Amino acid sequence: MGNFKGHALPGSFFLLFGLWWSVKYPLKYVCRKNKSACYLGSRAGFQRLEFVEGIIKAVFALIGMVAEQFVPDGPHLKLYNYEEKHWDHLMNWQHATMYLFYGISGLVDIVAHGTNALPVAMDRMMLSLAVFIEGFLFCYHLHGRAMLDIHVHQLLLYAIFGGAICIFLEVFFRGSIVLEMLRTSLCILQGSWFWQIGFVLYPPNGSPEWNQMDHTNMMFLTMCYCWHYAFAFLILAVNYTIVSCSVKD
Amino acid sequence: MGNFKGHALPGSFFLLFGLWWSVKYPLKYVCRKNKSACYLGSRAGFQRLEFVEGIIKAVFALIGMVAEQFVPDGPHLKLYNYEEKHWDHLMNWQHATMYLFYGISGLVDIVAHGTNALPVAMDRMMLSLAVFIEGFLFCYHLHGRAMLDIHVHQLLLYAIFGGAICIFLEVFFRGSIVLEMLRTSLCILQGSWFWQIGFVLYPPNGSPEWNQMDHTNMMFLTMCYCWHYAFAFLILAVNYTIVSCSVKD
Amino acid sequence: MGNFKGHALPGSFFLLFGLWWSVKYPLKYVCRKNKSACYLGSRAGFQRLEFVEGIIKAVFALIGMVAEQFVPDGPHLKLYNYEEKHWDHLMNWQHATMYLFYGISGLVDIVAHGTNALPVAMDRMMLSLAVFIEGFLFCYHLHGRAMLDIHVHQLLLYAIFGGAICIFLEVFFRGSIVLEMLRTSLCILQGSWFWQIGFVLYPPNGSPEWNQMDHTNMMFLTMCYCWHYAFAFLILAVNYTIVSCSVKD
Amino acid sequence: MGNFKGHALPGSFFLLFGLWWSVKYPLKYVCRKNKSACYLGSRAGFQRLEFVEGIIKAVFALIGMVAEQFVPDGPHLKLYNYEEKHWDHLMNWQHATMYLFYGISGLVDIVAHGTNALPVAMDRMMLSLAVFIEGFLFCYHLHGRAMLDIHVHQLLLYAIFGGAICIFLEVFFRGSIVLEMLRTSLCILQGSWFWQIGFVLYPPNGSPEWNQMDHTNMMFLTMCYCWHYAFAFLILAVNYTIVSCSVKD
């Protein structure tokens, strides 16, 4: 992951999910409010959507895990290098572990919404745990890096843990549009910030490096983070408007 | 903002809103309790008040943003100084970012209370986020200052984050008079503490400077902060008494 | 307060309130469960109790404030020593500030339970704030002390902030016997720990001083703190048993 | 406890309870959902189970306390060594204190589910406190150890405090299957991680020691902790499937 693509890829996934949620939840809310006008979706339809979402999540997680293991400079399922007596490609293993929990979350989605064996609230709890584990592994990921590098990842952690707490609250306040919008905004923020980290730490097409020890860079990035968040709300607002207008007509 | 006026101005805004809320919420509570006696306000009337509040908030935020950009020594929308290769007027940009989120919160108020397109609880969530972002930017604002300077701003952060948490709780316990009073008290505290910071760091009309490294100054200010809070409750109590007496008659 | 009596006195107050609550709340719970058997207390009776409690709290707080000001080596309402240019008796002022908030809490109790002008839940919020302010001032109280001194006060802070959170939860879950018992236990713990601090830091009747830098002392006191808590639950259990037996007969 | 067995023993207890809960709670949930199909358990039956669980917990805790006191190199109820002027076997006393609170929790279970004198929610509060006290004592347990040693115990603390918070939430959301599953998973995690700590710090049958200062070891163990958690969910899933299938038939 220590390159531009390694940050753009997960960023794109989070952006994709965030954008999708920014359409789905307003749609769900509008449909619940005026049932007659809404021929698009029913309660069963949304359940099926969650089911499909679970499959996509599980497939993405599986692809991620396999990719982390079998890229040319990956561990190929080898955990310990017995000849040189050190752990092998720990970074890749950590990323695979992150994907593993998203995979479990996907599986729980599938079972909870495909059958009626599992209580539905389990999907939120597993997603919350998956996001939490992602943040947890990130926390122990940053040892011995430069100041700016640590700072941009710390900012990412706010979005991650904020998201985890928000999803955990959804276990108790299920279907609260406010929490769903908050989660969506944090997911878009996480996605776009992954891209920003890529641009800052591994500037593509020959831009000059950022000065890692300059305090004003840190201050700018903190502010930039807020702009990303404002931008996430702009997207939410636009999608919300489009959805509510198109349903009413 | 690095002068007395720069602290007195935001302080006045917060005091203004705090004082207004200390009238509005008791009025709302008293009106809800004895509906017959209260010819002043109805449910629709209070909704219209929130709508007007949103407009005022948005206008103030806009003025704030424009002022921060176009004051004589402001950035004039220039973010990066390419000649000298450093960020330009980051402080002003940070303050403008704070105002931006209050502006978004105002806009959400307008839409949520002016139309019925948006769930009402969104206004509290956006206000909570705006306050949180204010605190968040303050946190990374204090690097490399003197002890007393950091301390008085840290005390401010308690009021800010306390307010953010309190408003977030209102998403779930909407209309709880206790939370509304708590929020009002924290808002007044924040306003009066901004004034206090101005007096401590930039003593007007030639008072001597405070010793920044004296530990007893720090202890006094901590206590002084509590007195400000007690004073906020005094204002709340007086306004509450006036409101409930005038409604009953 | 820098002596044995200065810790024993507040400790006794907290113990007194804790013991009283350990009788009151079980009684209230038992009376609510079997209304017929209970001729001791009605809903109005308990309201009157809360009213009386508020008066006692306010009176104690007033006495405390006056005592802190007018003890022989107190500040006598003088805050700043202009001749020697330093703050005067800041410790006494801080304690008076703590009492002030307990006094406000008492006043709110009186108004909320004596009249019906104030929402009842305000009493819990003010009590929570009073306890929080106590902890808050303690936090900035410990600068530059010895290791063991800081440690025993930190342990006290757990009881204080635990209590503040517990009481704040009661705003939303009013009348929950579990939270009331938890609060009572934390109040008794705080009281008995104040006594313990007195014995550790100012050993009465000529006992030898505790070694402030010995790590095993710190470990013992941490454990001792847990024993105090177990002891608080023992008291709760005994009082609960006595109350429920005496009501049934 | 400073050996392999000292970690394997508590680990086994937590695993035992975790495994038992991973059968009990799904069973309870399935029985509540389709009451007709379920001849195994009724409401009263589950109450009796909780009662028995309390007895087992109390007995285990008693055995633990006695064992910690009267093992050959234990304190034999002697707290202070007056000849050599130092505390005696503080570690054993601390472990006994931990067991004490689990014992109290067991007693509360017995009274709350055996009689109707105590509100049922008290059992969760006491269990939450027992787990919290365990974590609290662990926190002050780690002074002056090597980096890896501290790290593995810190990881344990996440499971402990996570469990304490989860059980505390159950006071308010009693019978929520999601919280019960979360608690079960954290309990299994704690149990299996105790075993892992034993293997890492006291490798049995002559394996080489782990390098305590190697940062990659720390990273591996963080990841390994997540695998343990995934494994806990695997066990939960298997038991849940078995239970729901066997009840339906």
Percent of chain A scoring above 70 in pLDDT? 97
CA distance B28 to chain C (A): 13
Residue D246 has pLDDT above 90, yes or no: no
Q: Which residue of D has its CA nearest to C181?
A: D122
Q: Give the span between the Cα atoms of B115 and B109, in whole angstroms.
A: 10
Predicted local distance difference test score (pLDDT) of residue C247: 80
CA distance D170 to chain C (A): 12
Predicted local distance difference test score (pLDDT) of residue C147: 85
ipTM for the complex?
0.92
Q: Give the span between the Cα atoms of A199 and A222, in whole angstroms.
A: 15
Contact D226 A133 (CB under 8 A): yes
Predicted local distance difference test score (pLDDT) of residue C249: 62
Output the six-digit token pair for A214. Answer: 């300059």
Other Cβ atoms less than 10 A from the Cβ of C234: the count is: 12
Predicted local distance difference test score (pLDDT) of residue D209: 78
In eight-state DSSP terms, residue D209 is: P
CA distance C216 to chain D (A): 7
Q: What is the pTM of this model?
A: 0.94
Predicted local distance difference test score (pLDDT) of residue C210: 83
Predicted local distance difference test score (pLDDT) of residue A37: 61
Predicted local distance difference test score (pLDDT) of residue B204: 83
CA distance A230 to chain D (A): 32
Over residues A157-166, the mean pLDDT reads: 97
Name the residue type at position B138.
F
Q: Give the span between the Cα atoms of A222 and A233, in whole angstroms.
A: 17
Contact C216 D122 (CB under 8 A): no
What pLDDT digit, counting tens, does each position of A21-37 carry? Answer: 999 999 888 888 877 66
Over residues D191-207, the mean pLDDT reads: 89
CB pairs under 8 A between B and C: 55
Residue B34 has pLDDT above 80, yes or no: no
Sign of CA dihedral B115, B119, B120, B122: negative
Predicted local distance difference test score (pLDDT) of residue A39: 59
Residue D37 has pLDDT above 90, yes or no: no
Who wins on pLDDT, D128 or D213?
Answer: D128
pLDDT band at B222 (very low <50, low <70, confident <90, very high): very high
Residue D38 has pLDDT above 70, yes or no: no
Residue B206: partners with Cβ closer than 8 Å, 6 or more residues away: none
Chain A residues with CB inside 8 Å of D171's CB? Answer: none
Q: Give the span between the Cα atoms of D232 and D230, in whole angstroms.
A: 5
Over residues A197-205, the mean pLDDT reads: 88
Number of domains in chain D: 1
- Per mean pLDDT, which of B119-123, C66-70, C190-194, D45-49 is the most reliable? C190-194
- Alpha helices, H only, D76-146: 90-114, 122-139
Interface residue ranges in chain B relative to chain A, Cβ cutoff 8 Å: 86-87, 90, 93-94, 97, 100-101, 104, 117-119, 121-122, 124-125, 133, 136-137, 140-141, 143-144, 171-172
Residue C246: partners with Cβ closer than 8 Å, 6 or more residues away: none
Cα distances (angstroms) measured from residue B230 to each of B151, B227, C103, C120: 20, 5, 11, 20
Q: Which residue of D has its CA nearest to A123?
A: D178
Helix, strand or coil for residue C45?
helix
Partners of residue C87 on adjacent β-strands: C80
Helix, strand or coil for residue D116?
coil
Interface residue ranges in chain D relative to chain C, Cβ cutoff 8 Å: 86-87, 90, 93-94, 97, 100-101, 104, 117-119, 121-122, 124-125, 133, 136-137, 140-141, 143-144, 171-172
Helix, strand or coil for residue A229?
helix
CB pairs under 8 A between A and D: 55
What pLDDT digit, counting tens, does each position of C133-167 carry? Answer: 999 999 888 777 888 889 999 999 999 999 999 99
Among B43, B25, B20, residue whose Cα is nearest residue B179: B25
First-to-final CA distance of chain B = 46
Chain B residues with CB inside 8 Å of A226's CB? Answer: 97, 100-101, 133, 136-137
Contact D101 C244 (CB under 8 A): no
Among A179, A214, A180, A186, residue whose Cα is nearest residue A200: A214
Output the six-digit token pair for A138. Answer: 């990130």
What pLDDT digit, counting tens, does each position of C32-72 carry? Answer: 887 766 655 577 788 888 999 999 999 999 999 998 888 88
pLDDT band at D183 (very low <50, low <70, confident <90, very high): very high
- Domain carrying residue D175: 4-248
Q: Give the span between the Cα atoms of B14 and B166, in whole angstroms.
A: 16
Q: Give the span between the Cα atoms of B150 and A231, in whole angstroms.
A: 31
Interface residue ranges in chain C relative to chain D, Cβ cutoff 8 Å: 29, 158, 173, 176-178, 181-182, 215-220, 222-223, 226-227, 229-230, 233, 240, 244
Contact A104 D177 (CB under 8 A): no
Output the six-digit token pair for A131. Answer: 């996001």
Predicted local distance difference test score (pLDDT) of residue D36: 67
**H helix or E strand, kind and range, residue B36:** none
Q: Which residue of A has its CA nearest to B125?
A: A178
Percent of chain C scoring above 90 in pLDDT? 59
Residue count of chain C: 249
Sign of CA dihedral B64, B65, B70, B74: positive
Who wins on pLDDT, C184 or B28?
Answer: C184
pLDDT band at A203 (very low <50, low <70, confident <90, very high): confident
Best of A182, A210, A241 to substitute, by most chain B Cβ atoms within 10 angstroms, is: A182
Residue A86 has pLDDT above 70, yes or no: yes
Helix, strand or coil for residue B12?
helix
Predicted local distance difference test score (pLDDT) of residue B203: 87
Contact C178 D100 (CB under 8 A): no
Q: Give the span between the Cα atoms of B184 and B163, in whole angstroms.
A: 9
Over residues C167-196, the mean pLDDT reads: 95
Predicted local distance difference test score (pLDDT) of residue D3: 80
How much of chain D is in helix, strand and coil states, percent to nearest 5?
Answer: 75, 0, 25
pLDDT band at B156 (very low <50, low <70, confident <90, very high): very high
Predicted local distance difference test score (pLDDT) of residue C173: 93
Contact A227 B101 (CB under 8 A): no
